[in-house]
Structures are given as C-alpha cells and as structure tokens.
Amino acid sequence: MTKSENSYYNGSSMKALNIVPLSYSLEALEPVISRKIMELHHDKHYVAYVNGANAALEKPEKNREVMRDFSFNYNGAKIHEIFFANMREVRENNLPSGKILEAINLNFGSFENFQKEFSLAATSVEGSGWAVLWKDTENNLTVGQLEKHNLLGLNGMTPILVLDVWEHAYYLDYLNNRAEYVKQWWQVVNWDDVEQRS
C-alpha cells in the first residue's frame, strides 16, 4: 500500500471511494469472529462509511458539517479496509516472523511485550475506538488508540495493524467480554499483511 492510498484525510483524498471486497469468505475467521459479525461489519457498517463519504462529496456546499461527515466516513472506511486486510483464517501459534518480528523486537523488546501493550491498548479504549500499531516515517513502531476513528490521519504516521473494539466488532460473539475478543483475535492476525505495510 502506498502512502497516498493509505491515507489520512487531505485534499487529494477527496474523491469517491469504492467498496473493497473481503479477500476471504465471511465465515473464514470463525470461530474467532462469526460469519454474522463479518456480514454486518463488512456489508453494512463498512459499506455505510463508503456511502457516507461519497454522499458528503456530492454535496455542493462543503460546509463544516459536510466536511465533518466526510472526514468521519472517509476515515471509517479506510481504517476498516486495513482491519479486514489485517486478518486471515485461524492459525495455531500465529506469530510474526522475519522483518516485522525484527521491527517489533527492536521497538518493544519482544513480541510478548508488544502483544501485552497492544492488548492493553485495545481493552482500555473508552467506548468506541481502536488499538493501532503505527509506523512513523523512519519506521519506528508505536502502539496507540483511536477514539471512534476520526484520528486516522496523524501526519506521517501510518497504521499497519488495527483492531476494531467498537461493540459491533465483537458483541454478537463475546457480549461485553472485550478482553476475550482481544485475546482470541491474535489467532487471525495476518502477519504477512502487517509486514507488507511495515
């Protein structure tokens, strides 16, 4: 993914978005994430962000409210595209290797430290939001959180691994046990995709 595709909101981002289909079937992430959740999450929530961004673009007057809608929906669409691509079918002992493992070790000391830090970021988001692994322009890695998803655009910071902890992402499967969702989610992280972004 190139920097401009990845993107945070800026002038050049103001063009219509297309719906990106999943690269796997709706049930591919079971039993970690059910088909029902993926169906709602991709085909309803994500598609609504794409449509919302495009609807805002079509408004003739780009006033504050329209731009707010555009930013919310554009960032919502983009971060979901990363999230869906960051996952694949369950693998036992699903661990990073190669370049991404080296980068994690360099920045966090060990994979275990990173996993702990990222999980804590995910479980402690207040309300709706995301845990994010960012890389900066010098490829340093940082773990952070996003409230809702409107801050996707920190200048120079590229999200390479994101975890959606809005209730729609897990409630049907895990009810209020977000920590269990976060724990199980590590089995479906697509480390090849994360490495490509790093």
Complex with Mn ion: residue 53 or 103, whichever CB lies closer: 53
Minimum distance of Mn ion from residue 66's CB (angstroms): 23
Q: Smallest distance from the beta carbon of 194 to Mn ion, in angstroms?
A: 18
Closer CB to Mn ion, 41 or 88, in the complex:
41
With CA atoms as reference, report the closest residue to 143 among 156, 159, 165, 167: 159
Amino acid at 187: Q
CB 195 within 8 A of CB 97: no
Q: Based on CB atoms, which residue is closest to Mn ion, 81 or 164?
A: 164
For residues 175-194, which are near Mn ion according to CB under 5 A?
none
Residue 166 or 186 having the CB closest to Mn ion: 166
Between 103 and 169, whose beta carbon lies closer to Mn ion? 169
- Size of the residue set binding Mn ion (CB under 5 A): 2
Minimal distance in Å, beta carbon 46 to Mn ion? 7
Min dist CB 125 to Mn ion, Å, is: 12
The pattern of x and - marking residues 142 through 171 that bind Mn ion according to CB under 5 A reads ----------------------x-x-----
Long-range contacts of the stretch 121-127 (C-beta < 8 A, 24+): 121/145, 122/163, 122/165, 122/178, 122/182, 123/165, 123/178, 123/179, 123/182, 125/165
- Per CB under 5 A, 81 contacts Mn ion: no
Phi and psi dihedrals of 52, rounded to 5? -65, -40
Q: List the x/- string, 39-78, binding to Mn ion by CB under 5 A.
A: ----------------------------------------
Binding positions for Mn ion, rule: CB under 5 A: 164, 166
